[in-house]
A = this chain, B = another copy of it.
Amino acid sequence: MSYNPSGYNYGAPPPSQPYYSTPYAAPSPYGQPQQPAFTSPYSYGTFTFPPGTDPNVIACFQVADIDRSGVVDDKELQIALSSYNQSFSIRTVRLLMHHFTNTNTRKIGPKEFTQVFYSLQNWRAIFEKFDRDRSGHIDTWELREALTSLGFTVSPVVLDLLVSKFDKTGGYKQAIEYDNFIECCLIVKGLTEKFKEKDTMYSGNATFTYEAFMLTVLPFLIV
């Protein structure tokens, strides 16, 4: 048991696995994108991908932006993400968009799309690392290990709460599918970051005014 009940470790990446690295080959969460017929920097309407952007990211954005509006909305992102032989609920998609925009606009541009792309690539790799038999789901303890890989150490009680939400088998199997794993990551990462913002002294305690507390929590309920 590597769980440390005497403290918590939120957000600090374990030394062996930096937060944004992909320690092994992982497939693109969008399948094999078509090769773009252009090179970056790529101007897309009034939005621009910065120089050096991976052409795969730009190509995926182009495919996702069905109406060529220059931004990808929640429905378009859901279609793009669901094309990789898996389903994404609209709630997960909106939570993803909220996480990277910190708004409820439900639209993302090139900058946020790039962040979504790399985060999902990383989370997919983590998920597949623990889904050892390629069953498409992980169990409770693998979820704990996966969250630890991402730098989030949660207590057994918190883990139980997460599993009670994200295990759709009714508890007999404790199997968390990829879509639910992503939602779980977004909630743990999002709440932890909000907590850290208020824990300015790194004391392990965060103080909220009533207004700040409501504005912190409500967006997670609202997507």
What residues make up the interface of A, taking CB atoms closer than 8 Å to B? 8, 10, 104, 154-155, 157-158, 161-162, 164-165, 187, 191-192, 195, 199, 204-211, 213-215, 217-222
Please pick, from B8, B104, B165, the residue contacting A210 in the complex, using a CB distance under 8 A.
B8
Tell me how far the C-beta of A142 lies from the nearest C-beta in chain B, rounded to whole angstroms. 19
Please pick, from B158, B205, B207, B215, the residue contacting A214 in the complex, using a CB distance under 8 A.
B158
Tell me how far the C-beta of A13 lies from the nearest C-beta in chain B, rounded to whole angstroms. 17
Question: Which of chain B's residues has its CB closest to A162's CB?
Answer: B218
Contact status A217-B215, CB under 8 Å? no
Instruction: Return chain B residues, CB-CB under 8 Å to A219.
Output: 161
Q: Top 4 closest A-B pairs, CB basis?
A: A165-B222, A207-B207, A161-B218, A8-B210
Contact status B187-A221, CB under 8 Å? yes
